[in-house]
């Protein structure tokens, strides 16, 4: 087992991961706003008291807050959480009001809000694409080379030479796809489409539940099928094929996140696997100690997470705003301001306990409390 990096390396790695990802997220909002003529009053990385900042020639205040756990762009006229017109907004001169967020049609506001999460996904695609272009795509044919005795694969009837084409309803092109699917289904039956001697078989396997520990001592629960693949090959990826490969990999990560989150919500996976800023910092420090390639790939994974979480239809998140815009488009009129205000209060009531919960998880406080109670 390798000793985890020190606290200074961990803090530095966290800042180097979160800082740029927040910047690009907010930059997406900012650039989309500029595209539609909305004036940005403030562009902040971090919350709380301003540590440093400057005002550009357009009148936008760019600043750093002392708490680097988020950021925001405040557009002109954005005077309340629901972004609804107020008396102050109505008193603005017509030319100033035209440059405010509320003055824009619904479809433009939708794009401005969606641009943040979309930028996080695009950044991940860019990082992954650069990796595949520089190093190629490691691929292992989904053909079974060995089957471990007593394994879930043996019990399902899988044999050496079988080619697995589908698992759990998802297509399997390479052995890496199979491993990703099996990993998140411990002790759950999954259907396997297997080709053997020109015939297609439909088998059902129940991956064994195992606790895996990495070289830093991090433990995770995952499924194990008990098969070994043949040799891996590195496939060079041409520049024209890079976007498609990177988009597919990004989509695979999102699908895995959705399935894993569903397992946590339904109780099939322990909630202890949910992590917050402290766990991100811990993993960031470990990946930095592994080298810049591991660190940059980790940044891509966190960028996908940030984009995905912000698209959840929870008030106060970008996804909550987008959900209200969709309702506005269906109803042909916005929801009442009072309704939106109450929705954002409910969103705050959901998010604050969740933040406290994952922070407890990060420090292992739930396990300690359970130990004291037991």
273 has a pLDDT exceeding 50: yes
Tell me the C-alpha distance between 185 and 225, whole Å: 10
In this prediction the pTM is 0.82
Do 210 and 305 sit in the same domain of this protein?
no
Pairing relationship of beta strands 144-147 and 163-167 according to DSSP bridges? unpaired
Domain co-membership, 162 together with 192:
yes
Higher pLDDT, 152 or 358: 152
Q: Which of 211, 235, 259 is the last residue of a domain?
A: 235
Structure confidence at residue 87 (pLDDT): 59
pLDDT tens readout for residues 47-94: 888 899 999 999 999 999 888 778 899 988 765 555 555 556 656 677
Q: Quote the CA–CA distance of 315 and 145 in Å, as a whole number.
A: 50
- CA-CA distance, 53 to 33, in Å (whole number)? 21
pLDDT of residue 191 exceeding 80, the answer is yes
Last residue in a domain, options 207, 235, 263: 235
Claim to verify: residue 128 and residue 144 sit in the same structural domain: no
In a domain, 113, yes or no: yes
Q: Which domain holds residue 322?
A: 7-135+296-373
In a domain, 240, yes or no: no
pLDDT of residue 365: 47
Do 285 and 14 form a contact (C-beta atoms < 8 A)? yes
Mean pLDDT of the chain: 86
Domain end call among 217, 235, 253: 235
Q: Does residue 329 carry a pLDDT above 50?
A: yes
Q: Are residues 167 and 183 in the same domain?
A: yes
The tens digit of pLDDT for each residue in 123-133 reads 999 999 999 99
Query: Is 2 domain-assigned?
Result: no
Q: Domain check: are 100 and 177 in the same one?
A: no
Alpha-carbon dihedral 306, 350, 343, 307, rounded to 10 degrees: 10
In the chain, the number of structural domains is 2
On whether both 129 and 144 belong to a single domain, the answer is no
Report yes or no: 160 and 127 within 8 Å, Cβ to Cβ.
no
Same domain, 192 and 208: yes
* Lowest mean pLDDT segment, chosen from 11-25, 227-241, 344-358: 344-358
d(CA 235, CA 181): 22
Q: Look at residue 185 and tell me if it is in a domain.
A: yes
334-340 average pLDDT score: 78
Assess whether 27 and 120 both reside in one domain.
yes
Q: Is the dihedral of CA 60, 65, 71, 74 positive or negative?
A: negative
CATH number at residue 170: 2.30.42.10
Strands 219-224, 227-229: parallel, antiparallel or unpaired by DSSP? unpaired
User: What is d(CA 126, CA 121) in angstroms, rounded to the nearest whole number?
Assistant: 9
Q: Are 150 and 129 found together in one domain?
A: no
> Do 131 and 154 belong together in one domain?
no
Residue 162 lies in a domain: yes
Claim to verify: residue 37 and residue 94 sit in the same structural domain: yes
Looking at residue 372, what is its pLDDT? 40
What would the 3-class secondary structure string for 54-94 be? EECCCCCEEEEEEEEEEEEEEECCCCCCCCCCCHHHHCCCH
Q: State yes or no: pLDDT of 295 exceeds 50.
A: yes
| Whether residues 64 and 109 fall in one domain | yes
In a domain, 41, yes or no: yes
Q: In 3-state terms, what secondary structure has residue 345?
A: helix
Residues acting as catalytic residues: 26
pLDDT tens by residue, 116-125: 999 999 999 9
Instruction: Give dist(CA 125, CA 117) in Å, integer.
Output: 13
pLDDT, residue 231, reads 87
Whether residue 367 lies inside any domain: the answer is yes
User: Would residue 262 count as lying in a domain?
Assistant: no
How many alpha carbons fall within 13 Å on the CB side of residue 332?
0
């Amino acid at each position: 087992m390798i000793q985890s990096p020190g606290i200074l390396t961990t803090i530095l790695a966290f800042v180097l991961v979160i800082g740029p990802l927040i910047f690009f997220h907010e930059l997406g909002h900012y650039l989309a706003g500029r595209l539609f003529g909305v004036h940005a009053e403030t562009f902040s990385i971090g919350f709380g008291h301003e540590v440093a900042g400057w005002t550009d020639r357009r009148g936008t205040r760019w600043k750093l807050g002392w708490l680097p756990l988020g950021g925001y762009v405040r557009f002109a006229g954005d005077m309340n959480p629901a972004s609804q017109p107020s008396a102050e907004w109505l008193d603005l001169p017509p030319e100033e009001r035209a440059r405010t967020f509320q003055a824009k049609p619904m479809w433009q506001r939708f794009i401005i809000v969606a641009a943040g999460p979309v930028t996080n996904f695009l950044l991940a695609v860019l990082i992954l694409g650069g990796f595949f272009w520089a190093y190629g795509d490691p691929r292992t044919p989904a053909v079974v080379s060995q089957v471990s005795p007593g394994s879930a694969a043996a019990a399902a009837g899988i044999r050496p030479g079988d080619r697995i084409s589908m698992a759990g309803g998802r297509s399997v092109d390479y052995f890496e796809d199979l491993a990703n699917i099996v990993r998140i289904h411990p002790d759950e039956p999954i259907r396997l489409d297997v080709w053997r001697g020109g015939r297609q078989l439909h088998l059902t396997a129940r991956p064994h539940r195992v606790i895996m520990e990495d070289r830093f001592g991090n433990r995770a629960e995952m499924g194990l099928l008990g098969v070994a693949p043949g040799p891996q090959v590195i496939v060079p990826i041409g520049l024209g094929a890079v976007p498609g490969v990177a988009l597919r990999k990004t989509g695979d990560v999102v699908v895995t996140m959705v399935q894993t989150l569903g397992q946590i919500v339904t109780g099939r996976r322990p909630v202890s696997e949910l992590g917050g800023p402290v766990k991100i910092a811990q993993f960031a420090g470990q990946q930095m100690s592994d080298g810049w390639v591991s660190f940059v790939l980790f940044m891509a994974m966190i960028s996908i997470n940030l984009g995905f979480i912000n698209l959840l239809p929870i008030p106060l998140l970008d996804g909550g705003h987008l959900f209200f815009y969709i309702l506005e488009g269906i109803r042909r009129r916005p929801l009442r301001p009072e309704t939106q205000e109450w929705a954002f209060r409910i969103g705050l009531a959901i998010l604050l306990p969740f933040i406290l919960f994952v922070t407890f998880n990060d420090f292992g406080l739930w396990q300690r409390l359970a130990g004291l109670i037991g």
